[in-house]
Amino acid sequence: MGLGLIAISMLSWMLIWMTQQARFLKAEIQSTGYRTLDEDKKAA
């Protein structure tokens, strides 16, 4: 029973961590894309 609780806890933590990382990466990629588009507009 104890090992099962540890496994469930670790998987739950990993899911939360991965969700947070995905949000961070999405925001970073979007800001880079917007910045690139702005620079492209200024160059044109």
Residue 26 pLDDT level (bands cut at 50, 70, 90)? very high
Domain count, the chain: 1
Phi and psi of 7, rounded to 5°? -65, -45
Whether residue 43 is predicted with pLDDT greater than 80 in this model: the reply is: no
pLDDT class of 20 with cuts at 50, 70, 90 = very high
- Cα separation, 8 vs 23, whole angstroms: 23
Separation of alpha carbons 38 and 2, rounded Å: 54
pLDDT score at 41: 80
Q: φ and ψ at 31, to 5 degrees?
A: -65, -35
pTM for this predicted structure: 0.66
- Provide the domain limits for residue 29: 1-44
